[in-house]
Amino acid sequence: MRIDLNRTSDVPLYRQLHASLARSIRGGELGPGTKLPSVRAMSRELGISLITVVQAYDALAAEGLVHASAGRGTFVGCHPAACSPVDDADGDAGDQAGADEWLASLPVYLTAPRIFEMESLLKFARRPDVIYLASGTPDATLFPVRAIGRIWHRAMVVEDPRFLQYGSPRGDANLRAWIAGRCGASGIQARADDVLITSGVQQAIDLVARTFVGPGDYVLVESPTFLTALDIFGARGAKLVGVPVDSRGIRIDMVATLVERFRPRMLYTIPTAQNPTGSTMVEDRRRRLADLARRHNMLILEDDSCSEFTYEGDAPPAVKAFDSGGHVIFVKGFSKTVVPGLRVGGIVAHSSVMSRLAESKSVADRFASTLIQRTLWRYLSSRQYDRDLAMARSVYRRRRDAMLRALETHMPAEVTWTRPDAGFNLWVNLPRSISPTEAFEGGMKEGVACGPGHLFIPHVPPPAGVRLSFADKPEHVIAEGVRRLATAIKRIQEQGSGRLRESEFVTTV
């Protein structure tokens, strides 16, 4: 079987491998029952990553061309609908091979390499014997489902149905007014007209990126940061420059230097409950960041997904609170504090920025669901919201403490970690000799899944680490998960196999 991969092509390697194997299967070169080389053997043979092979095999399986047999391997399985007869007199096999080639050659204008890689890696981690500390999700048992159900029902049977008509791209006026009012707690003066409702913070980041960031623009990001934001800016063709984060937030001294050097269009920051480190930027750095933006005409995209979950005292004022010229675009999320499934977020911005974002929202999906906006507004305006927040905050604080205690008890001396002031995650700094994928794979062997750190970093160089999330697990499970990860790290150290494999890191600059 001959497989030619073109490494200079725009077509991703996994799609080339998939197309080549699909051709061989449909053409009969690989007959039913043939065992494909193992993922590891194929990756070694072709000099490509394990993930690339897994993605290609997955795509073949999704089409019914192969099937995986647990513990035995991957076999050509000729699904009658997907697999034409070898000696097809009508030439259908040849036609399909041509179509496969054409499909594989379609240009990809939107790529999401990090989130895709994360999902591929974690696909095998959702098993009962694996403790899943890999995703920073809230605890579903704390969701206010009864309250939301009641409000939803009332909206449908009691309210004037005209609220379900086509709505404004800016969103429900009541919800916008609520968000504007609540901004006061973060030191932001806003009116309902300064607010636009989005489908989650993720769409807010996407709208801002597609409105203001173009190919070749420099974007400064915290390193590590929220991996989907890296995908979004990457999809715009932006050049990403990482700025390290310490326990006091983004390294503002480095921002000052990098702003001079790259003249970035934008800086993306998560100043409170930074994902994945959990750190919170101190007030002085927030003030200086806003000042740098004004002096250098740089936009700041400030992501506030869950500052409500600050565990010691109150979060400092938002960066936007120090914005005198309209350079800061503030984004508020409700996925962590209410439920992710409603998909609501809000953007607060200066009027001239806002009008352009409203046009983008209108082009993207016209407006957010009016039923969901109405429901969320009524819940947020009820007294129950603050009570639920306080309860969830104390649960999450105890879980954070359980994770910190377990790290202290079990981790070897060479391992350090951040101490989150807020949010759902912390970052474990690995010894230099251990790569994030080695830690991830070692953890999986011990029965724990962590977030492989290279996916949160825009480019080399390390230091590398892994993300651990604590919000959705009971304390004893968190403790056991950390113990397993510590065992894995010690084992890798003992075997002395930890080598830094630079090729595992994604370079975008």
Ligand X SMILES: Cc1ncc(COP(=O)(O)O)c(C=O)c1O
* Interface positions with ligand X (CB under 6 A): 136, 200-202, 226, 270, 275, 303, 305, 333, 335, 340, 345
417 phi and psi angles, rounded to 5 deg: -155, 165
CB of 181 to ligand X, least distance (A): 20
What DSSP character marks residue 293? H
CB of 347 to ligand X, least distance (A): 12
Report the phi/psi class of residue 119: left, alpha or beta, with left for phi > 0 and alpha for psi in -120 to 50.
alpha
Burial class (CB in 10 A: 0-12, 13-18, 19+), 488: buried
**CA–CA separation, 428 and 450 (whole Å):** 10
For residues 224 and 217, the answer to whether their CB atoms sit within 8 Å is no
369: which 2 tokens? Answer: 């669901």
CB of 362 to ligand X, least distance (A): 19
DSSP 393-450: HHHHHHHHHHHHHHHHHHS-TT-EE---SBSSEEEEEPPTT--HHHHHHHHHHHTEE-
Interstrand relation of 416-417 and 425-429 (parallel, antiparallel or unpaired): antiparallel
Specify the residue, 74 or 275, whose C-beta has the smaller distance to ligand X: 275
Specify the residue, 259 or 270, whose C-beta has the smaller distance to ligand X: 270
Specify the residue, 228 or 382, whose C-beta has the smaller distance to ligand X: 228
CB of 211 to ligand X, least distance (A): 17
For residues 440 and 489, the answer to whether their CB atoms sit within 8 Å is no
Specify the residue, 304 or 438, whose C-beta has the smaller distance to ligand X: 304
Residue nearest to ligand X (CB): 200
Specify the residue, 74 or 202, whose C-beta has the smaller distance to ligand X: 202
424 phi and psi angles, rounded to 5 deg: -115, 0
CB of 202 to ligand X, least distance (A): 3
**CA–CA separation, 341 and 343 (whole Å):** 5
Specify the residue, 96 or 425, whose C-beta has the smaller distance to ligand X: 425
CB of 161 to ligand X, least distance (A): 28
Specify the residue, 206 or 388, whose C-beta has the smaller distance to ligand X: 206
CB of 488 to ligand X, least distance (A): 25
